[in-house]
Amino acid sequence: MSNTVGEVMIEAKGLSKAYGLSAQQAEPMLRADDARAAVRDAGGFLGADEVDLTVERGELFVIMGLSGSGKSTVLRMINRLVEPTSGALSVDGQDVLGMDDDQLYDLRNQKISMVFQHFALFPHRTVRENAAYGLQVRGLSARERLDRADRALDRVGLGDRGDAYPHELSGGMKQRVGLARALATDADVLLMDEPFSALDPLIKRDMQELLLKLQAEDQRTIVFVTHDLNEAMRIGHRIMVMKDGQVVQCGTGEEILSEPADDYVSNFVADVDRSRVLTAGTLLRPPLLTARPDEKPGDVLRRLEHTEMNGLFVVDDAGRLHGVAQDDLLADAARRGDPDVRRCLVHDYETVSADVPIVDFCHLAGRHIVPVAVVDADRRLLGVVPRAAILSAMARTEEGAR
């Protein structure tokens, strides 16, 4: 299985679904100014309206919205469990809408696996047999499919429950079996239709953690449907928000929180804990002033006197962070006649990477004379996060919770 992020795995253009009407009946209505009303007046229902989406290989892509938004319709059109009325759709470069029955069977059997909300386990089969079912359909030998099922069950924490039956399992365990069945097929694409919505909050969080762990290991292409915005923000690389069959906004969780496309999205995200979604990169600001290691202490001190700052970051020409120069230490160095600032540098500051959420570093703000520094793996200074920016983000979080 190829896991090169950046390559397009799933692409849809103008994908529409009119329930209750044939494609021929719906075609002129889909071209109307108000296609939804035209389809409704003809006795149908427009489940998806001109949906465009692109999912990269190895991406965990979330489709979210309220009931009736069209999210499950879009998901099920990807493997044609729901037959699109119009549009174009490809998976791994293959035209899905042009496939005949045999090609579609191979797509569902080899390329795409699906995890449903209500487990869809066979009650008369053991956990191991349920996990192996997709491989049985492929015609693998009993030994091979059961071996692969056991490995998949081990990965989801059910290696010791292979001989149990579904009625002996909790809801969370049943969903783990459903996930193991999908993993056992080693399919490139995993479609998940509100898989955790029926679970208790603590079990749901455990399943989210498990999914993120498995995704980090496998880098599968996952399309995940949910109505839970916090879940979407927690697991999604990108999130597509839907309303009335249409795409309202698509972007990262940070982009949707920071720049909601309209009032609908703004109201949708009002109760999200921004401190757990927004990151240091979101609040990033360029430093007001920096110095180079070879600058004279007196020169740096004179630049500082025109600001309200008591210190600044010292970075080299490559942007790498060397330390902090404080005003009092610069003055001492100037009196000594030091040729540059290297002798007076201190390391009394905090650094974080750009992907760290606010909640993990907000307690560090204000402890030092310089803001929290955001650095990359080579300690290049990407920018700073001022204390006021953190407090402002936290204030918006509290406002949204009221």
User: Which residue among 273, 298, 318 closes a domain?
Assistant: 273
Largest CA distance in the chain: 88
Per-residue CA distances from 183 to 55, 142, 150, 265 (Å): 19, 17, 11, 34
CB 92 within 8 A of CB 4: no
Q: Quick check: helix, strand or coil at residue 112?
A: strand
Do 83 and 154 belong to one domain? yes
pLDDT tens-digit profile, the chain (402 residues): 444 456 999 999 999 999 999 989 999 999 898 999 999 999 999 999 999 999 999 999 999 998 899 999 999 999 999 999 999 999 999 999 999 999 999 999 889 999 887 777 899 999 999 999 888 878 888 899 999 999 999 999 999 999 999 999 998 899 999 999 999 989 999 999 999 888 888 888 899 999 999 999 999 999 999 998 888 988 999 999 999 999 999 999 888 988 889 999 988 887 777 777 888 888 899 999 999 999 999 999 999 988 888 999 999 999 999 999 999 999 999 999 999 999 999 999 999 999 898 889 988 888 899 999 999 999 999 999 999 888 887 776 445 444
Do 305 and 178 belong to one domain? no
pTM of the model: 0.78
Helices (H), 18-63: 23-30, 35-41
- Note the pLDDT of residue 396: 60
Do 264 and 303 belong to one domain? no
Task: Write the CATH number for 57.
Answer: 3.40.50.300
Do 149 and 119 belong to one domain? yes
User: Which residue among 240, 273, 306 closes a domain?
Assistant: 273
Q: Is residue 279 part of a domain?
A: no
Q: Is residue 278 part of a domain?
A: no
Do 259 and 298 belong to one domain? no
- Note the pLDDT of residue 6: 67
- Note the pLDDT of residue 247: 96
Do 267 and 296 belong to one domain? no
Tell me which residue range forms the domain holding 180. 8-273
- Note the pLDDT of residue 152: 94
Q: Is residue 285 part of a domain?
A: no
Q: Is residue 281 part of a domain?
A: no
- Note the pLDDT of residue 292: 96
| Amino acid at position 304, single letter | L
- Note the pLDDT of residue 1: 45
Per-residue CA distances from 187 to 60, 112, 151, 179, 217 (Å): 14, 5, 15, 12, 14
Do 248 and 346 belong to one domain? no
Do 59 and 180 belong to one domain? yes
Number of H helices, E strands in the chain: 16, 17
Do 197 and 304 belong to one domain? no
Q: Is residue 3 part of a domain?
A: no
- Note the pLDDT of residue 3: 46
- Note the pLDDT of residue 295: 96
Task: Write the CATH number for 354.
Answer: 3.10.580.10
Do 114 and 259 belong to one domain? yes
Q: Is residue 365 part of a domain?
A: yes
Do 17 and 68 belong to one domain? yes
Question: Strand pairing partners for 92?
Answer: none
Do 94 and 203 belong to one domain? yes
DSSP 107: I
How many structural domains is the chain composed of?
Answer: 2
